[in-house]
Amino acid sequence: MFHKEGYKILLTATFILGIGIILIDKFINDLWTNKVISFILLLCYIAILQFFRNPKRKTIINDNQIIAPVDGKVVVIEEVFEKEYFKDKRLQISIFMSPLNVHVTRYPISGKVIYSKYHSGKYLVAWHPKSSEENERTSIVINTSNFGEIMYRQIAGAMARRIVNYATTNLEVTQGEDCGFIKFGSRVDVFLPINTKVNVKLNEKVKGGEQIIAFK
């Protein structure tokens, strides 16, 4: 199953693969050269297919738990001063996605979207400490029943050049549902109340839509 954000790219990639194979067979007569180039072309095509995969996840909805919004590795767990919206201290949990990870973004908790803003910016590597405030990004705040207001932030990386955000103001959202996509390497930050209990460790690999990263 593939994400809808990849349909046009996958169609184009399929067309290029087909034309490429035809041209290779027509103009490259050396058998081994033909096979090597064809193999490389096929590997590139498979890489694009796996990037846009959209596996089903079994989310157990629980208003007392925050689930990982994306697949990836936990790179930050710390108290920070969040200055865009809250303007106070928050617990930040950041998850870095490599190009090999599933790049679908899922709502970490159910509630009502009360803030959704896009920021243009730089394309620092996603694990850079300043990427959260200087890179291209979207910031979304959800008003929840048990945590109050929580924010998640989609951040573009050095390769990512497009952030897709489905969260709009006043939208009622459900934990685990698809809320966007970030293309080609990126990161998601989650900002929680200071007293939230963390359920992950630094460098731990998490599974979006299912794994609990924090709880009440």
- pLDDT 10s digits, 89-124: 999 999 998 878 888 999 999 999 999 999 987 766
* pLDDT confidence tier of residue 204, bands split at 50, 70 and 90: very high
Chain segment 50-98, per-residue pLDDT in tens: 878 888 999 999 999 999 999 999 999 999 999 999 999 999 999 998 8
End-to-end CA distance of the chain: 34
* pLDDT confidence tier of residue 10, bands split at 50, 70 and 90: confident
Q: What is the dihedral of CA 80, 155, 139, 181, to 10 degrees?
A: -140
Question: Partners of 115 in the beta sheet?
Answer: 141
Model pLDDT, residue 99 = 79
Q: 65-215: what fold? A: Glucose Permease (Domain IIA) (2.70.70)
Residue 131 known to be catalytic: no
Diameter of the chain by CA atoms?
67
Model pLDDT, residue 98 = 85
| List 110, 116, 131, 186, catalytic entry | 186
User: What are the two backbone dihedrals, phi and then psi, of residue 79, each rounded to the nearest 5 degrees?
Assistant: -85, 130
Residue 39 reports pLDDT greater than 60: yes
User: What are the two backbone dihedrals, phi and then psi, of residue 131, each rounded to the nearest 5 degrees?
Assistant: -65, -30
Spatial separation of the C-alpha atoms in residues 116 and 93, rounded to whole Å: 19
Chain segment 135-187, per-residue pLDDT in tens: 788 999 999 999 999 999 999 876 555 789 999 999 999 999 999 998 766 88
> In 10 A of CB 108, how many CB atoms?
32
